[in-house]
Structure 1
Amino acid sequence: MPTRRSRPTASSAEPAPVVVSEELFAPLSGGMDLCYQTFGSPDDEPLLLVMGLGGPMTWWDPAFCEALARAGFFVIRYDNRDTGRSSRARGRVTRSALVRAFVGAPIRAPYSISDLAADAVGLLDHLGIESAHVAGISMGGMISQTLAVEHPTRVRSLGSIMSSTGRRSVGWQHPKLFPTLLNGRAGRDGYIRGSVRTWQLIGSPAYPMTREELERRAGETYDRGVSLSGVGRQMLAVLTQPDRTPRLRSVTVPTVVIHGLADPMVHVSGGRATSAAIPGADLLLIDGMGHDLPAALWPSFVTALRRNADRVRA
């Protein structure tokens, strides 16, 4: 299991123009619609980007998506159900239910990580894509891992970023973060204040975003649509997920696991456990990285995902 540590790299090359689609909608079975957007040429290798808890697709920064497109990918980013412009699910989740799920009590969730993975398959079906490289962050990494074990023919390579296996003994966040994640402050200004506080707690200490950057992103997120009940439903899906460790041992596609050594949200033990479970996985640990994607590290992420995808041909 190779392990590497990374620091940001830089390039002085003039970026090439990238074709960017409008935001579009994919109708799925059950009346669910997913909002998505593409970067680059459909003739290139498809790369599906899966965002984490409560995160719309816009948290995959457009400049980062364009960098991936220039690396030879046809990039697809999308809003999971209950985020952004995608459909909202049903089912009320109380804080007491979340606490019970956190301590391992049996709880029935409105939907599962497997359901979210099935949504991703539905999006690929809509686009006529038989298989894609898949990379996910946090909950998105859990969805991506589930895609690889439950829909193996749809995944060419796997990138699991700041995520975990579902095993309760690794990767779990401290319960003190629950109130911060369930940001229920009223109105746009309240959401922005809560979001800034969240990212100041879980962001990368070595690559901090400015308050102005955090406020701008929070405002854009609120304007595209936020749902406190949706975050609760997604969180319950995370808390009730099974331990994928035994099934991850059957994953045969090239895999890169990326994790920050300063991640307070998903402990680095989650990344280590993921790489240990998947045969031949490459583990990339990054000093000073928390639970976000700092722009200074984008070149390292692009290089890691490109190298991993090239292993398919090798």
Structure 2
Amino acid sequence: MARDFYEVLGVSRDASADQIQQAFRTLARKYHPDVNKDPSAEDRFKEINEAYHVLTDPDTRKRYDRFGEDFDKVPEDWEERVGAGAGGPRGGRPSGGRVRYGQGFGGGFGGADGINIEDLFGDMFSGSGGFGPSPGADQEAVLELTVEEAYRGGKRQLSIGGRDYGVNIPAGVVDGQRIRLAGEGGRGSGNGPAGDLYLVVHIRPHPRFRLDGRDVTVDLPVSPWEAVLGTTVAVPTPGGDAKVKVPPGSSTGRRLRLRGEGMPNPRGPAGDLYAEIKVVVPTTPTARERELFEQLAADSTFDPRRSR
């Protein structure tokens, strides 16, 4: 089944002739093989060209709207035949298949078998017959950052595709965010403007910090006595150490929230930092430590496996 010609041009079925022509001009700028070197561009342009020819001829468009892909098997006087009771497309003689417009490039777009590009596009083409100004394509590249670099931001020199760029990284960029470098993308043709280059931020995994948007989680090791008695300790953040109060009776897995100590946000509140407690025991206790733990075991009635 052939694609719907209205779909090919991206217009509605009630589009005006001007809308169809504008859609064709836009698509032709993008897919004309003098501009687009993608191997599939030629076939795409032929499809666009065919749709344009069918939908800009009032009689052909009327047949297409009535009979769909069989429009070219219907005689031009089908309306008269229908009025005389001939029964529509079966009253006509097949034309021998669909007509394709602009089958070749170079000279194949002129004359009766194709379209005259210069007549159709006018000032879109240069006086020498070449394709006129066309904007360059936007491009993307991955920008890898550490958590600390994403937190601080700042200027950075990059080399992409043999070209050097000075990039201003905003403080608090997050994974997947795009940084736009205006006019640094693909070159335009015929004095057309260059496209933009977008740097897509990828924050590398960190041995200590875990990111969830702008929130940061970090493990906070504490000793058994600190967990039982409570204490105030330093906790690392991407911007440096901060102080956190460990409440008495804290167990592994308890999360302590430090508001605003996560990733910065230039357009709103910063993220939070969560210090997740991990109770760590000495693996090689001294004789005195072992003695104290044995005394605690003998005196304590605490059973961590008892339901509470």
The answer to whether the superposition gives a TM-score over 0.5 is: no
For normalisation by structure 2, the TM-score amounts to 0.19
More strand by percentage: 2
Higher radius of gyration, 1 or 2: 2
